[in-house]
Amino acid sequence: MKQYWTEEKIKSAKYDELKKRCEEAEGELAIIKGIGNKSPEMQALKKENNDLAKMIDITREEAQIIQLQADNEVRKFTKRIADLEDVNKSHQKLNGELRKELTNINEKYVDSLKKLADQKDLVKTYRKAGIL
């Protein structure tokens, strides 16, 4: 006797087969997950991952400390540079004033030398004339 499969029977059979395969896959996945998470290799990798995460946190904190120290040093040096520039400006001003004063003293000295030379000439003239 020939059995004819109806469309509904074919769909039902395919559905049942797919349902069975899905259940088997879910079961296998549960087994793999259970074994994978509890395996020594997975435990070692999780521990290593946690250790690396801690190292990253520590390194990040150390980097922040170093950055803060560097920023503090930059601020100190910037202030020191500004102070030295102020000192330099005041020294330049004082140097200019001292040069002016030295120029005035030199001019007075030259004038005094000229007057002395004139007086010396005058003394010579008086000696020649017999006045002295």
Domain boundaries, the chain: 33-102
Q: What are the pLDDT digits (tens) for 74-108?
A: 999 999 999 999 999 999 999 999 999 999 999 99
Site of tokens 């120029």: 103
Q: What are the pLDDT digits (tens) for 10-56?
A: 777 777 888 888 888 888 777 777 666 677 777 888 899 999 999 99
Residues 6+ apart with CB under 8 A from 123: 132
The alpha carbon dihedral of 126, 129, 131, 132 has a sign of positive
> Alpha carbon of 107 to those of 6, 111, 128: distances in Å?
131, 6, 31
pLDDT for 3 beyond 70:
no
pLDDT for 1 beyond 70:
no
Q: What is the mean pLDDT of residues 110-128?
A: 87
Question: What is the DSSP-derived secondary structure letter of residue 39?
Answer: S
Which residue has better confidence, 36 or 118? 118
